[in-house]
Amino acid sequence: MRKPIIAGNWKMNKTISEGVDFVKQIKHLGDNTDVEVVVCVPFVSLESIKKELKGSNVKLGSQNIHWEENGAYTGEISPLMLKEIGIDYAIIGHSERRQYFAETDETVNKKVKTSLDHGINPIVCVGETLEERENNTAKEKVKVQITKALEGISEKEMSDIVLAYEPIWAIGTGKTASSEDANEMIAFIRDIVKEKYDEEISETVRIQYGGSVKPQNVTEIMNQPDIDGALVGGASLKKDDFTELVRF
Ligand SMILES: O=C(CO)COP(=O)(O)O
């Protein structure tokens, strides 16, 4: 049985005080449930929110990580800094980072390796553009992204990785992939993992869907056999919506 994982990606939203306030209201959501609940918050809020989450079962994640431990990388945040705060997860390769901040499959792979080396679980994002979906090249694109992201990752390390399929055209647009289409791509990703590793790993790796997940569609998405969770932007910012999401 794969443990469901619902992760909020706050993106560039909520100041430190707003974030702490919000977490006060949702920090019980990881109790008495089989669902793993995660909030991925801006770097500047991580430390305060970690303190607020003391004793809570809600996990904490960053939205990025640098592959080097230190050095001349102005504006970047290293795995050592994140490890000292005590985060559980790092989102890696989000399409917004790929689109606006020149993230590549190569940097994604380096960041995945660095995270694993520092005991931070990567949430690795992949997904196609609308054009690629319409051209029927979506699977090809996702296969390249997954294969490159996992280059040099051992079988053992795979148990610490979460994958997230986020079709770019469904992010923040209100358009969701149909739950069947999302499941089909996620099953395809599972096959890629099986080809590269083995059946056991492909059956245990957790794969989330992301893109306009809301209380109205979360149940249908989570009922799909290959979908193990959701990576949620907009709806994770509101207490009532986030509460409904984790109780899908
Ligand atoms: O990018 C996403 C999560 O990482 C999805 O964002 P939305 O839920 O706002 O569409």
Q: Distance between the two ends of the chain, CA-based, in angstroms?
A: 17
Kindly report the protein residue whose alpha carbon is nearest to atom 6 of ligand 1: 233
Mean pLDDT of 28-45: 98
- Residues 14, 20, 26, 27: what is their CA dihedral angle, to the nearest 10 degrees? 140
Strand partners, 38: 7, 59
Task: Give every CB contact of residue 159 below 8 A, 6+ residues apart in sequence.
Answer: 201, 204, 205
Look up 68 and say whether it is catalytic. no
Q: Does residue 208's CB lie within 6 angstroms of at least one atom of ligand 1?
A: no
Total residues found in the chain within this entry: 248
Pairing verdict, β 59-62 and 36-40:
parallel
Task: Give every CB contact of residue 234 below 8 A, 6+ residues apart in sequence.
Answer: 172, 212, 214
Name the fold adopted by 5-246.
TIM Barrel (3.20.20)
For the stretch 134-186, pLDDT in tens is: 999 999 999 999 999 999 999 999 999 999 999 999 998 888 889 999 999 99
Look up 94 and say whether it is catalytic. yes
pLDDT for position 177: 84
Distance 99 CA to ligand 1 centre (A): 14
Tell if the pTM clears 0.95, that is, is over it: yes
Residue 233 reports pLDDT greater than 90: yes
Q: Does residue 230's CB lie within 6 angstroms of at least one atom of ligand 1?
A: no
Confirm if 242 and 26 have CB atoms less than 8 A apart. yes
Q: Provide the residue ranges of all domains of the chain, joining segments of one domain with +.
A: 5-246
For the stretch 205-225, pLDDT in tens is: 999 999 999 999 999 999 999
Which of 169, 231, 242 has most ligand 1 atoms within 8 Å of its beta carbon, as the pocket-test mutant?
Answer: 231
For the stretch 100-132, pLDDT in tens is: 999 999 999 999 999 999 999 999 999 999 999
Mean pLDDT of 52-68: 98
